[in-house]
């Protein structure tokens, strides 16, 4: 029997793949999306309820325009689906005096782009947002347009809306092989399919599926914990506490107010623990919890708060922490989106749109040269 043929197959329907599927289906293409687990799950990089969205991006100016475009697309998706995914509750970047550059750099970006922002001190933050308990000499930058995205809901909504546009979706079916050719073959345990173009968005599994990416991506195990305040729970509500990123001598922590009633979420951003996808330790240890509790105790009115939940999530780090987006260096009808280095979720709708444009040969309005797959692939 002949394999079923598509214009485009998307492998992996997490953050990026779900968005790519949506934009492809919306363009009227015949598309198939294949996901190894359920649509949204807790094994990859998009689980744990929330992701930060921010705009004064100091990781590289090329990200700022993409963040602004992503916000428009999140809002389009909300209008179309009726779901509320983007919550602009405000965001605060905080640093101790020795790590001021982590606040000064975003301030420069905000000034360049004329983004609404405020520069405030630790004691002013404590007065305005009583969840915080910061030393007076810490300084901070407040961006009102920052906030959080509901991350599993974003993935589910992209897939559901793609299906409304006619996309076919297969879940709980891992792709075992991709055989390049003019009609690329995509093989799962049970079936084979062909497509003119294939887009691979396999997250932390990217180099397992495409070993030629092994020099490009290191997987890192990252832990987050949810704290339940003992009292004054209202000061941790999203209308009273912004999302935050805090830099001190131990690195950078980030977190969220109690967005959904499940507690205040705190994680450590720059603690990279390299691991392998098949052997990653998915159990949160007491040591993991102690490292995160240090931030809760020191900088918030959360001393003694119980950790009511915790989770292991995976970053796919590239050597330069820039993303990998573009055509496979050896197969120009296969496109890769991977290596989102712990900061990709907010961009997912714009990356989905870029992938659609690459697949149909349309112009892309962003400079993709910093993201070239060829920089790490032979
Ligand atoms: C703890 C944590 C906090 C983060 N915080 C932020 C934040 O605040 N803001 C932000 O912007 N970003 C944040 N990130 C980063 C962001 O979540 C990731 O960059 C983003 O989710 C990566 O998307 P992805 O599509 O590459 O991976 P995923 O969303 O994991 O999707 C990959 C998908 O491919 C599927 N797949 C893999 N192999 C196969 C196969 N062979 N066959 C079929 N399916 C397959 C997987 O099952 C998975 O569903 C955070 C990440 C973590 C872990």
CB within 8 Å of 62: residues ≥ 6 apart: 366, 367, 370
Overall domain count for the chain: 2
Active site residue 47: yes
Q: Is 50 a catalytic residue?
A: yes
292 token code pair? 């995160």
Residue 175 lies in a domain: yes
CA dihedral 84, 353, 277, 40 (to 10 degrees): 30
- For residue 117, being part of any structural domain is answered with yes
Q: Quote the pLDDT of residue 232.
A: 81
Q: How many CB atoms lie within 10 A of CB 308?
A: 12
Q: With respect to residue 237, please indicate whether it lies within any of the assigned structural domains.
A: yes
**Axis crossing angle, helix 15-26 with helix 348-360, rounded to the nearest 10:** 50
Q: Which of 38, 67, 344 to mutate to test the pocket of ligand 1 (most atoms within 8 A of CB)?
A: 344
Whole-number Cα distances in Å, 100 to 104, 121, 297: 6, 12, 22
Residues in contact with ligand 1 (CB, 6 Å cut-off): 11-17, 34-37, 44-46, 48, 51-52, 174-175, 201-203, 205, 209, 222, 224, 267, 313-315, 338, 340, 342-346
Report how far residue 16's alpha carbon sits from residue 355's, in angstroms, rounded to the nearest whole number: 9
Examine the domain organization and report whether 311 and 326 are in the same domain. no
Nearest atom within ligand 1 for CA of residue 338: 26
231 CA distance to ligand 1 middle (Å): 34
Domain contains 163: yes
Identify whether residues 171 and 28 lie together within a single domain.
Answer: yes
Angle in degrees, 0-180, between the axes of helices 348-360 and 62-81, rounded to the nearest 10: 100
Q: For Cα atoms 88, 94, 95, give the angle at the middle one, nearest 5 degrees.
A: 160
193 falls within a domain: yes
CATH of the domain at 32: 3.50.50.60
- Tell me which residue has tokens 């906030």: 147
Q: Which of 11, 20, 46, 335 to mutate to test the pocket of ligand 1 (most atoms within 8 A of CB)?
A: 46
Average pLDDT over residues 101-118: 94
- Please give the Cα distance from 115 to 145 (Å, whole number): 9
Q: Which of 51, 139, 197, 328 is catalytic?
A: 51
pLDDT recorded at residue 12: 98
Tell which one of 44, 175, 209, 347 to mutate to probe ligand 1, the residue whose CB is within 8 A of the most ligand atoms.
44
Q: Which residues face 139 on adjacent strands?
A: 95, 121
Contact predicate 66/18, CB 8 Å: no
pLDDT of residue 1: 64
- State the distance from the centre of ligand 1 to the C-alpha of 208, rounded, in angstroms: 15
Is 321 assigned a catalytic role? no
Domain shared by 200 and 311, yes or no: no
Regarding whether 247 and 119 lie in a shared domain, the answer is yes
pTM of the full structure: 0.98
Summarize pLDDT for 28-37 with one digit per residue, the tens.
999 999 999 9
On whether both 228 and 307 belong to a single domain, the answer is yes
What residues make up the domain containing 104?
A: 91-144+218-317
Q: What are the residue ranges of helices labelled H in the chain?
A: 15-26, 62-81, 101-113, 122-128, 151-164, 206-209, 286-299, 348-360
Residue 190 sits in the same domain as residue 226:
no
Residues 310, 226 share a domain: yes
**329 is a domain residue:** yes
**pLDDT value of residue 157:** 98
User: Residues 225, 290: one domain?
Assistant: yes
**Same domain membership, residue 113 and residue 224:** yes
DSSP of 182-213: SSEEEEESS-EEEEEEEEE--GGGHHHH-GGG
Domain endpoint, select from 317, 332, 359: 317
86-87 sheet: strands from edge to edge: 50-53, 147-150, 86-87
Q: What mean pLDDT do residues 121-129 have?
A: 95
Q: Kindly give the number of the ligand 1 atom that is closest to the alpha carbon of 188.
A: 42
pLDDT in tens, 154-171: 999 999 999 999 999 999
Q: Are residues 229 and 311 in the same domain?
A: yes
pLDDT-derived band at 11 (thresholds 50, 70, 90) equals very high
Encode pLDDT of 226-282 as tens digits. Answer: 999 988 899 999 999 999 999 999 899 999 999 999 999 999 987 778 999 999 999
CA-CA-CA-CA torsion sign (301, 152, 364, 202): positive
- Identify the CATH number of the domain in which residue 119 sits: 3.30.9.10
Is 98 inside any structural domain?
yes
- Please give the structure tokens belonging to residue 96: 């101790």
> 177 and 190 share a domain?
yes
Both 118 and 42 in a single domain? no
Domain boundary among 317, 344, 366: 317
- Say if residue 2's pLDDT is above 80: no
């Amino acid at each position: 029997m002949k394999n079923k043929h598509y214009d485009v197959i998307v492998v992996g329907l997490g953050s990026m793949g779900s968005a790519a599927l949506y934009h492809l289906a919306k363009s009227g293409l015949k598309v198939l999306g294949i996901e190894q687990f359920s649509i949204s799950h807790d094994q990859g990089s998009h689980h744990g309820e929330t992701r930060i969205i921010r705009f004064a991006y100091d990781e590289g100016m090329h990200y700022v325009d993409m963040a602004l475009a992503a916000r428009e697309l999140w809002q389009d998706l909300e209008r179309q689906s009726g779901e509320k995914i983007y919550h602009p509750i405000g965001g605060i970047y905080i640093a101790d005096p020795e790590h001021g550059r982590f606040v000064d750099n975003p301030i420069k970006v905000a000034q360049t782009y004329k983004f609404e922002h405020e520069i405030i001190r630790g004691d002013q933050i404590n007065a305005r947002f009583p969840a915080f308990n910061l030393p007076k000499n810490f300084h901070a930058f407040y961006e009102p347009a920052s906030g959080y995205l509901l991350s599993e809901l974003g993935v589910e909504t992209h897939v559901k809306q793609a299906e409304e546009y006619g996309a076919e979706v297969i879940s709980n079916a891992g792709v075992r092989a991709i055989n390049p050719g003019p009609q690329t073959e995509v093989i799962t345990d049970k079936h084979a399919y062909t497509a003119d173009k294939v887009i691979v968005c396999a997250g932390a599994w990217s180099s397992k599926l495409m070993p030629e990416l092994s020099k490009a991506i290191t997987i890192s195990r990252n832990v987050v914990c949810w704290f339940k305040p003992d009292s004054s729970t209202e000061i941790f509500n999203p209308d009273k506490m912004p999302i935050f990123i805090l830099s001190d001598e131990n690195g950078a922590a980030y977190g969220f107010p109690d967005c959904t009633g499940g507690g205040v979420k705190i994680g450590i951003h720059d603690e990279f623990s390299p691991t392998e996808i098949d052997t990653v330790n998915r159990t949160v240890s007491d040591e993991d919890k102690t490292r995160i509790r240090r931030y809760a105790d020191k900088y918030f009115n959360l001393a003694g708060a119980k950790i009511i939940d915790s989770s292991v999530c995976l970053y796919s780090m590239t050597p330069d922490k820039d993303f990998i987006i573009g055509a496979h260096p050896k197969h120009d009808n296969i496109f890769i989106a991977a290596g989102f280095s712990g900061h990709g979720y907010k961009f997912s709708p714009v990356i989905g749109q870029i992938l659609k444009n690459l697949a149909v040969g349309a112009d892309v309005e962003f400079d993709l040269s910093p993201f070239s797959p060829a920089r790490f692939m032979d």
